[in-house]
Chains A and B, each alone.
Chain A
Amino acid sequence: MLNHVNGWLEALRVGAHTGRLSCPTFLKPYHLVTLALMLKRENARWLELSEEIETYALRMGLWAAAGITPPYEMTENPTQNKFLPVAPLENSADILSVAKNLTQLVYQHNLGLEAFASVETMLMELIENTYKHARVQNKLHGLVCAQSWPKGNLAQIVFADTGIGIKSSLQENPLLQDLLSQANACQLACQLGVTSKPNAHSGYGLALTKDLMRQSAGSMIVISNNEGFYLQGNQEKPFHAPAWQGTLIILEWPIQQALDVGAVYANWPLPEGFELDDFN
């Protein structure tokens, strides 16, 4: 997946200058979210796609998310696949409803309520991150898009914004200045306890997501400006990414694999003097 994402971001960069873009014949949520934000950033007024992907992109709300008049109105046409069209994150009061909608897309009923709560917890953290850290100029904090393919046992959820980016955010923490001059900011941000606001925040969101994706043998890509971090199962690596102004997070995992947030917490260090019985 990493090569595809890098290739697509490079194509987007070129397309923003030339006005022409080479699109794959099978679009995923990350294509739609990043294309919509690029079109918005470039103030595009017109978009034409090839016939083979136009209907899907229309159903997924690409034109609406980019603020462009669509070629025609889409009528409801239920499919076996479940998806959330590209949607703006505009109101921080909607955290719970957005997280629940996304969770229902990827949740498999045979996995139980703990699995539902685990996905919901991860998504609420990521949505909150987008509101708190992106610090965009306009009211649009970011875009989210998701699709699950039950027959393929796969889901993809994507968050993207055009805000200040991870490195600029972490640089506000004086304790990280030296580390940031050497380390990959995206990889650093996925470590437990790494935060831009040490007195107010604690750096849980991306660390929790990374641990859950590792647990499910899923994939996670975090890209911000020219830095990237990639996790695939137990393998992880930082990489040099094609430029993305802001932050892009792509999660993809097998939906028949139950996520277990309790197991993640159990692996986090328990500070001395504290026990689970403290809260009986």
Chain B
Amino acid sequence: MTSTKLVLCTLLKDTGSRESGEQLRHLILENLNQFPCVELDFSQVTLTPSFADEAFGLLCTHLSKQDLNQKIKFQHLSATHKALLARVIGNRFK
């Protein structure tokens, strides 16, 4: 198997707190130890900037930007969430 899928709305108690963001970050890293690629399904969730920073921004200490683009796939991401992730992840990776 070349990838695994994490569905946020079924995995996390919320997508607003840093605690949940940290939980997702650990899940992503654990899964990247077993699979070359992780797919994240964002359907039916509302992300806060703090959650996104904790879950994805702080991946900067583990992954390069190139790794992030290649190993993590974002599914069902709204235009609003794309705008958020570009800024939050960019701030940490810059």
The total of Cβ contacts below 8 Å across the A-B interface reads 104
Inside 8 A of A239's CB, which chain B residues have their CB? Answer: none
In the complex where A204-B50, A276-B82 touch, is A270 in contact with B17 (Cβ < 8 A)?
A: no
Q: Which residues of B contact A275 (CB under 8 A)?
A: 86
Complex interface bits, A85-105 against B, C-beta within 8 A gives 1, otherwise 0 = 000000011011001000000
Which residues 63-94 in B have Cβ within 8 Å of A in the complex?
65, 69, 74, 77-94
B39 interfacial by beta-carbon distance below 8 Å: no
> Taking A201-B50, A208-B49 as contacts, is the C-beta distance between A92 and B17 under 8 angstroms?
yes
Cβ of A121: which chain B residues have Cβ within 8 Å of it? 16, 46-49
CB contacts under 8 Å to B, within A226-271, are: 261-262, 265-266, 268-271
- The dominant DSSP class at the A interface is helix
Is B46 a contact partner of A117 (Cβ separation < 8 A)?
yes
**Contact: A202 with B53, CB < 8 Å?**
yes
Judge if A125 is at the interface, Cβ distance under 8 Å: yes
Contact check: which of A114, A205, A276 meets B83 at CB < 8 Å?
A276
- A145 interface residue (CB < 8 Å to B): no
Cβ contact within 8 Å between A274 and B74: no
The verdict on A24 contacting chain B, using a C-beta distance below 8 Å, is: no
B91 touches A124 (CB 8 A): no
- From 106 to 123 in chain A, residues with beta carbon under 8 angstroms from any chain B beta carbon are 114, 117, 120-121
Contact call B13/A278, Cβ cutoff below 8 A: no
Residues of A close to B79: CB separation below 8 A: 262, 276
Interface SS of chain B: helix
Partner of B49 from A204, A266, A276 at Cβ < 8 Å: A204
| Nearest A residue (CB) for B80 | A262
Which of B53, B74, B84 neighbours the largest number of chain A CB atoms within 10 Å of its CB?
B84
**Cβ proximity bits A110-148 to B, threshold 8 Å, 1 near / 0 not:** 000010010011001101100010000000000000000
A125 nearest CB neighbor, chain B only: B48
Decide: B88 and A202 in contact? CB cutoff 8 A: yes
Query: Do B13 and A96 touch across chains, with their CB atoms under 8 A apart?
Result: yes
Does B65 contact A95, Cβ atoms closer than 8 Å? no
Residues of A within 8 A of B49 (CB): 121, 125, 202, 204-205, 208
The answer to whether A268 touches B16 (Cβ under 8 A) is no
* Cβ-defined partner of A99 (8 Å) among B16, B57, B69, B82: B16
Q: Does A174 contact B (CB under 8 A)?
A: no
Chain B residue with Cβ nearest A260: B80
State in angstroms the CA–CA spacing of A218 and B73 once bound together.
Answer: 38
Q: Determine which of A202, A261, A272 lies in contact with B94 in the assembled complex, contact meaning CB atoms within 8 Å.
A: A272
Contact between chains at A270 and B90 (CB < 8 Å):
yes
A280 within 8 A of B: yes
Q: Give B12's nearest chain A residue, CB to CB.
A: A96
A205 touches B77 (CB 8 A): no
> Is the pair B19, A92 in contact by a Cβ cutoff of 8 Å?
yes
* Given pairs A124-B48, A202-B88, A202-B92, 11 additional interface contacts (CB within 8 A): A121-B16, A121-B49, A125-B50, A202-B91, A204-B53, A271-B90, A274-B89, A276-B82, A278-B85, A278-B89, A279-B82
| CB pairs A–B below 8 angstroms (15 shown) | A92-B19, A95-B14, A128-B17, A128-B48, A202-B57, A204-B53, A208-B49, A269-B87, A270-B90, A271-B90, A271-B94, A274-B86, A276-B86, A278-B69, A279-B82
Closest 9 CB pairs of A and B: A124-B16, A271-B90, A274-B90, A262-B80, A204-B49, A96-B14, A265-B83, A271-B94, A117-B46
